[in-house]
Chains A and B, each alone.
Chain A
Amino acid sequence: MNIINKEVVIIGGGPAGLAAAVELYKKGVQDILIIEREKMLGGILRQCIHDGFGLTRFNVTLSGPEYAQRFIDEVEKLNIQYITDTTVLSVTKDKKITAVSKNGLMTWQAKAVILTMGCRERTRGALGIPGERPAGVFTAGMAQSYINLHNTMVGKNVIILGSGDIGMIMARRMTLEGANVKAVFEIMPYPSGLPRNIEQCLNDYNIPLYLSHTITDIHGSSRLTGVTVSEMDEHLKPIPGTEKEYACDTLILSVGLIPENELSLSAGVELDVRTKGAIVNENYQTCVDGVFAAGNVLHVHDLVDFVSLEAENLADAVAVYVQDDSLPECGIKITTSREINYTVPQYVSGTKDFNLSMRVKKPFRNCKIEIMQDGSVVKSIKLKKVIPAEMIKILVNHKLLQSDKDLEVRVKC
């Protein structure tokens, strides 16, 4: 088989892949190929027809397709090479990429590979929700695709499990299309989506949100006929006697997103059990030399604006890598206290400023996020309110670091 050499191959033409491509090109790396499995570029943004994208980046609120189009236009204008309708079958440790399309099998040898495959939705089976298995149970993104891209209505009487952003957006979307959205149930005592979505998608449409509730049974041997909902105790166990039956023909699940790392694993990339994405350093380089990752394949973001930004930071590092064949050693590990769910990156060099992204495990008020080294605080920021739904981003000046000892990030109230 013919092997084509490329300086950089980007897997996935969603917001992360597009932003990385444009930034790389501007940095002078122009032998780029974006591989996209769908019929067009844009990734998941294509089905996100609601607004609210781009506020941070462009200072204007855009729909998903509009946001994506700004980057697609740049890709077109710069004449960056991309192919669609092409599925990558494997990526190897030595950066050979094999893909298939209607034109046949293709293999590229890349100097650097950028993984921007995004994420997938957690399913009913993965949660282990008990009960029967009727038709009418959809993940929120699936329902969004059916309604917005396939002109297909998935149901009429709807219950939503999980207060993830897509679930709340679908509560509004289905209401606007004439469905009766009865309620949203969230197992945790706090919502998992953004406050603005609770306001604009639930409260504005009088859709109740029940915290500390989950579905404990699913009924229907053919199409869904109803669900049993129970209240949860503080250990997230159902409280006996609180069961309530809700008749419905549709259950929408918005219960979490999982970075899609099957290809990363095939390349030997090591994953972080917390993010389910690659372990990376400040250059967004994985443990495999020359393989980089950004966007939702690395960790699930709250806003696409941050996905673009992360991919651009990655591109800056990849540009150096392509020119110098290597990047500085990153030996300083970043650990977290138990209030913090994770940080990205997990390693830094100490010789370059870095962007630290993180999420807390539960909400805190009036607290400080502290970055510690060797027992002393090297950086501290005060926050009025932090919630798991919102990613926290801190820019750290490398001059603040005292040594090459590991860093710890903690919450102090």
Chain B
Amino acid sequence: MKQIYDVLIIGAGVVGSAVAREMARNELKIGVLEKNRDVCYETSGRNSAVIHGGFAYDIGTRKAECCVEGNLGFDQVAKELDVPFKRTGKVLVGNTEADYESLQRTIATGKINGSVGLEMVDKERLHELVPAVIGEFAMFSPNSGIVDPFQYTIALAENAKMNGVDFYFNHEVMGIYREADGAYTITTTQGDFNTRWVVNSAGIGCVKISEMMGIHGYRFNGHKGDYIILDKKVGSLLPMPVYPVPNNTFMGIHVTPTVEGNVIVGPNADYVDDFTYYGVPQKNMDYLAKSASTLWPHIHKSDYIRNYSGIQPKWLDGNNVVQDFVIEAREEAPHTINLVGIESPGLTSALPIGRRAVRLMAERETLLPNKNFNPNRKGIVRFFEQSDEEKAHLLAENPDYGEVICRCETVTKAEILQAVHNPLGVDTMLGIKYRTRSMMGRCQGGYCQMRVAQIIQEELGKKVTDVLYARNGSNMFTGKVRE
């Protein structure tokens, strides 16, 4: 049976989820098609998790405009969506005269872009901001911040779902066809869908979807960056992200605290054409540690807990110059909104991009406001972060808060159960990890993984052979030892 929608959004990354949430402010029947089994499996969940200030982009670009708008609005959206966000500030550290001039140009550009509070700081002030940093001076951006990209994307999607949006995971788009009546048929790996509008927010798949919609001529390079995650014990030594002075195409290898108290080191930037390979090579890990150690001295192998990588779609012109975000509604593909080349600062810009997508639609048809739209969403309450009084209160209400499943991050059974029964219906181990932080700590699931796997089986009635880590085919187990 064909599903009939006003809008189908392709891709449930942070941008697709933000578009869905912003569109849900109107009387529209909206669906999201995602090939993976959860939100933010690709670029949205694989980055530095920084909310950028907006100074690093050319004047008058959409990147600059969306980034500044996203940054200034982030306190409000973090509050609405109950997402951990910290306005930590950030420094770009320099040493040479050329660095100094470059940073002053960055400040000048940033001020025109609308980036707030940028200033040069001397060595003394720099060390007040970040005690151990290595460098002579810096540009300080007080408005930059850090966010949990998993929680943020999940929150956007859950809020969209609360407001009536349907999410279809494990639905990979195979073709997009315009029918005689002007509507679109979208074929997927799990059946066909009908819709009046199509939004391409496919991230690293944006060119493929663009072509399917009949928009040709885009090309991009995959820009792969690797990261190392450090133990929380060094987290308190780094109050804010520390970046080097950037060059034209690359922000540089940096160290960033996470909202949860870890530190991430990265990324390098390798051009790749395989957009499915997320392996981290030894030489890159060595390079990251060496390079970032010139900025911050606390990178030791004994504090490594995990590594990861992400791929950004950098869309380039004929001269290999990185281009601006594309947010367009083209005549040759009526009733489509095409989002191409959404790379950094895509996390910061997701909601502004969503608003612009709605605006493009509103320019072409009258949208009626959804009077029941609720912008607020509550996340899973973290037992460990509560006061003793609040802990006692939670325990009195639900004894499952008394069973600690993940020892490193102190995640209780009550939280795991809420995650297993999440509003989006995600059933993977990674889905529980994103939602609770279980398996994210220093023992990497040594204690809790088997407990989480068992709860998934019990609560969702799954066979042991059907428990997936993340993707299709990522089966955790091969069977029972004894029947």
Contacts and interface: CB of A to CB of B under 8 A. Distances in A.
Given A123-B444, A150-B450, A134 B474 contact: yes
Contacts of B453: 152
Contacts of B302: 126
A392 to B, nearest CB: 25
Interface string A25-40: 0000000000001000
B479 A133 contact: no
A153 B482 CA distance: 9
Nearest to B308: A133
B301 A128 contact: yes
B282 A130 contact: yes
A132 B474 CA distance: 12
Nearest to A120: B443
B438 to A, nearest CB: 14
A63 interface: no
A193 B171 CA distance: 48
Interface in B119-133: none
Given A100-B391, A100-B404, A177-B481, A123 B305 contact: yes
Nearest to A128: B304
Given A125-B307, A131-B279, A153-B479, A105 B407 contact: no
Given A105-B392, A217-B279, A221-B277, A128 B446 contact: no
Interface residues of B, number: 59
Interface stretch (B3-11, B17-25, B395-403): B395-403
Given A141-B446, A221-B277, A222-B473, A87 B404 contact: yes
Contacts of A146: 450, 477
B450 A37 contact: no
Interface size class of A (residues with CB under 8 A): 35 or more
Given A132-B277, A142-B446, A100 B402 contact: yes
B280 A131 contact: yes
Given A1-B392, A100-B395, A105-B395, A151 B282 contact: no
Most buried by B among A85, A146, A218, A249: A146
B234 interface: no
Contacts of A141: 446
A375 interface: no
A333 interface: no
Contacts of B285: 128, 130
B475 interface: yes
Contacts of B464: 152
Contacts of B407: 37, 87
A219 B277 CA distance: 10
A133 B402 contact: no
Interface string B443-476: 1111101100110000000001000111111111
Interface string B245-286: 000000000000000000000000000000011111110010
Contacts of B410: 87, 89
A221 B276 contact: yes
Given A89-B410, A147-B481, A135 B444 contact: no
B396 A104 contact: yes
A126 B279 contact: no
Contacts of B280: 130-131
The residue among A130, A141, A142, A154 with the most chain B CB atoms within 10 A of its own CB is A130
A125 B229 contact: yes
B365 interface: no
A367 B228 CA distance: 42
A126 B304 contact: yes
Interface string B359-393: 00000000000000000000000001000100110
Interface in A34-92: 37, 85, 87, 89
Contacts of B403: 85, 87, 101-102
A147 B481 CA distance: 6
B478 interface: yes
Contacts of A120: 443, 446-447
A103 interface: yes
Interface string B222-236: 000000110000000
Contact of B279 (A1, A100, A218): A218
Contacts of B454: 150
A223 B473 CA distance: 6
Contact of B470 (A1, A130, A142, A222): A222
A387 to B, nearest CB: 24
B474 A223 contact: yes
A152 B475 CA distance: 12
In this complex, the member of A131, A135, A218, A219 whose beta carbon has the largest number of chain B beta carbons within 10 angstroms is A135
Contacts of A135: 468-470, 474-476
A221 B471 contact: yes
Nearest to A157: B478
A155 interface: yes
A133 B444 contact: no
Nearest to B404: A87
Contact of A104 (B279, B304, B392, B404): B392
Given A100-B402, A120-B447, A221-B471, A130 B281 contact: yes
Nearest to B233: A265
B326 to A, nearest CB: 28
B212 to A, nearest CB: 23
B260 to A, nearest CB: 15
Nearest to A263: B407
Contact of B282 (A152, A154, A216, A221): A216
Contacts of B278: 132-133, 221
A102 B402 contact: yes
B474 A154 contact: no
5 contacts: A103-B399, A135-B468, A142-B449, A154-B476, A223-B475
Interface of A: 1, 37, 85, 87, 89, 100-105, 120-121, 123-128, 130-136, 139, 141-142, 145-147, 150-156, 177, 216-219, 221-223, 249, 262
Interface of B: 228-229, 276-282, 285, 301-302, 304-308, 384, 388, 391-392, 395-396, 399-404, 407-408, 410, 412, 442-447, 449-450, 453-454, 464, 468-482
Report the 7 A-B pairs with minimum CB-CB distance, sorted nearest first. A125-B306, A222-B473, A135-B469, A87-B404, A222-B474, A102-B399, A102-B402
